[in-house]
Chain A
Amino acid sequence: MKWYLYFTGCLLLLTLTSVAQKKKPVHDQMGILELHISHSQNQVPLRIGGTFQNQLGQSFTLRKLKYYLSGFSISQVAATPSYYLVDIADSNSCTIRLKLPAGIYNRLYGWIGVDSAANCSGAQTGVLDPVHDMFWTWNTGYIQFKIEGDAESSSAPNGKMEYHIGGYRHPFNTIQQITLQPKSHMEIRAGRTTRMVLQMELYHFWEAAGISFSERPVVAVPGEQAVKLARAFKTCFQIID
């Protein structure tokens, strides 16, 4: 059975590649952009179990940082979106490979979170599989990002800070477009891999969100607060070549 499948698979592939080779236009040549996401807090590398401070000097021990990136494109209108789940506990997930048409660019567009179409299309698989614990079951939708930790100053009964940010329904849509600008430019060469570092500086989030762990240790429902925090989260990302 398997043997048979492999055989047909190979045949199909051969046919397809031969057809594709014949028809491939010059301008459609693709290269790879490999983005290495480097996470920091106040320029100190972020790690699970590490202790850091927010903008008010309230310290926290990081327990979880996970988020979705999607729809990378060199034009503002993304084609079929692909989704990436970045989890700082899993270093493999912090490198994402994007297939882009060869060329020289000074901007890369993408999204933090999962678009509303994917939020409304039923059971998904791959990084969008709800087994990854980034999905709300009581109010359908993906959690665009999750930050959790223990914080002395937290007023929550379990002494935690917990920001689970999501929601795709108008007017509380939390998906955020980001525009990444390399310092000079970025060159994608056909059939080659270009590597760049995407810096994620969490301190910008605390600063933009203006969060105090004693006043608002938890945000875990869609709504106004979620949108505010989603906007703050997007300020963390920057390409540093």
Chain B
Amino acid sequence: MSNRKWIGWILMIAVLVGFCAFQIHPPRKIGLNIPKGWPQPETNWFATNPVTEEGFQLGRKLFYDGRLSKDGNFPCAGCHQQFAAFSTFDHDLSHGFNNALTTRNAPVLQNLIWMPAFHWDGGVNHLEVQPLSPITSPGEMAESLPSVISKLKADPKYRTMFRSAFNSDSITSQRMLQALAQFMGSLISSQSKYDAVKAGKAQFSISEAAGYQVFLQHCNRCHTEPLFTNNSFQNTGLQPSSRLYDIGRARITSIPSDSFKFKVPSLRNSTVSAPYMHDGRFATLSQVLNHYRKGMVHPGVSVDSLIAAGLPITPQQQLDLFSFLYTLKDDTFLKNPRFGPPPAEKSRSQQQPASHNYH
């Protein structure tokens, strides 16, 4: 074999090895950090979908991308705003495509890996399939799944990101949903003042400490520490809306006694996630507490027995309870730039002053 041929072979092999090393660079596993002292999640969603830096970043881009909606105006982040713990700030119901309103209050997105079912009625059983609901709902993002996939396939940036997240060229709904799950599953709020107190790194004020006692006595059974929800479905004696007529959990189970039951929301970051209840009917925490003290109605089906008689809380106890609820606000989570828009989306949204996100 001539020298030239040898050089050719060596070069080819070198190029190949280099190319492979560059291309088959596996996504970097980052996993999820379970805060100290918290229960292990019962869900095992990331066994088949390990959280990687590339997958997280892809999920983050998708979360902030309006192209997942029919007219481009309604990214997931439109109704799930970080500063409101990923709920819709100051909106009882949220805005969707073609001036539609949703029929329920946008829930906060935090600590989702401890949540066995999504939606106020628990109809969705897995984090990966949750986004299908807002994407295809006519009053929300109003888009079809095949159309979303073809928009993603047409974008070279997405092709690169899917390849580096999943080590393969195919863009499928499964991969899009897995990437979104990686981003959403990473939204863990565990660094509030309450958490610092529990870790022995801070102290409650007198009022906060008194409020914590009120909480333990009256709220902890359903809003159970450390997640501040036990993920159960309860009827809290709200007068059913004659317009929305939402039967809650019974819509999923078809069990009459589940009528008007809704999922217990977490109290974490509740001071920034107003309005409250499944239909956002209460604008303030005072209204919520007034309801629990003396506003509950009994529409023929069982109101949770723990609260049915009304919570015996004095005005002073209520103030202390509010002080305590403020200790559940997690600024590290609410302002973490890693959970915010990716740099490219940020500059795009800055060019559009009339963004749908903040009306």
Contacts and interface: CB of A to CB of B under 8 A. Distances in A.
Interface of A: 1, 4, 119-125, 129-131, 135, 137-140, 169, 172, 221-224
A4 B16 contact: yes
Which 7 residue pairs of A and B lie closest in terms of their CB atoms, listed nearest first? Answer: A122-B128, A123-B177, A123-B128, A137-B133, A122-B126, A125-B174, A137-B132
A122 B146 contact: no
9 contacts: A1-B23, A122-B45, A123-B129, A129-B174, A131-B149, A137-B129, A137-B136, A139-B123, A139-B251
Interface string B247-273: 000011110000000000000000000
Contacts of B73: none
B90 to A, nearest CB: 26
A122 B176 CA distance: 12
Interface string B223-255: 000000000000000000000000000011110
B218 to A, nearest CB: 33
A224 B255 CA distance: 11
Nearest to B117: A140
A213 to B, nearest CB: 23
B125 A140 contact: yes
A224 B177 CA distance: 31
Contact of A129 (B45, B136, B172): B172
Given A129-B172, A222-B254, A4 B20 contact: yes
B173 interface: yes
A139 B129 contact: no
B357 interface: no
Nearest to B180: A123
A136 to B, nearest CB: 8
Contacts of A169: 252-253
- For B132, B177, B254, which residue has the most chain A Cβ atoms within 10 angstroms? B254
A140 B124 CA distance: 5
A139 B174 contact: no
A123 B173 contact: yes
The dominant DSSP class at the B interface is helix
A135 B125 CA distance: 13
Nearest to A171: B254
B8 to A, nearest CB: 16
Contact of B174 (A120, A123, A223, A224): A123
Interface in B148-193: 149, 172-174, 177-178, 181
A11 to B, nearest CB: 14
Contacts of B174: 123-125, 129
Nearest to A124: B174
B102 to A, nearest CB: 12
Contacts of B172: 125, 129
- For B45, B135, B136, which residue has the most chain A Cβ atoms within 10 angstroms? B136
- For A139, A172, A221, which residue has the most chain B Cβ atoms within 10 angstroms? A139
Contacts of B136: 137
A121 B49 CA distance: 11
Contact of B145 (A4, A122, A130, A139): A130
B204 to A, nearest CB: 40
Contacts of A129: 172-174
B129 A140 contact: yes
A138 B133 contact: yes
B125 A131 contact: no
B128 A223 contact: no
Nearest to B45: A122
Contacts of A224: 254
B251 to A, nearest CB: 8
B19 interface: yes
A4 B126 CA distance: 37
A139 B118 CA distance: 10
B280 to A, nearest CB: 19
B137 interface: yes
A183 B45 CA distance: 46
A4 B123 contact: no
A223 B132 CA distance: 22
A164 B302 CA distance: 32
Given A138-B119, A139-B252, A122 B173 contact: no
Contacts of A223: 254
Nearest to B177: A123
Nearest to B22: A1
B177 A4 contact: no
A3 B49 CA distance: 28
B328 interface: no
A121 B126 contact: yes
A23 to B, nearest CB: 29
A27 to B, nearest CB: 33
Nearest to B43: A122
B127 interface: yes
Contacts of B135: 137
Contacts of B20: 1, 4
Contacts of B254: 172, 221-224
A193 to B, nearest CB: 30
Interface string B96-136: 00000000000000000000000100011111110011011
B11 to A, nearest CB: 15
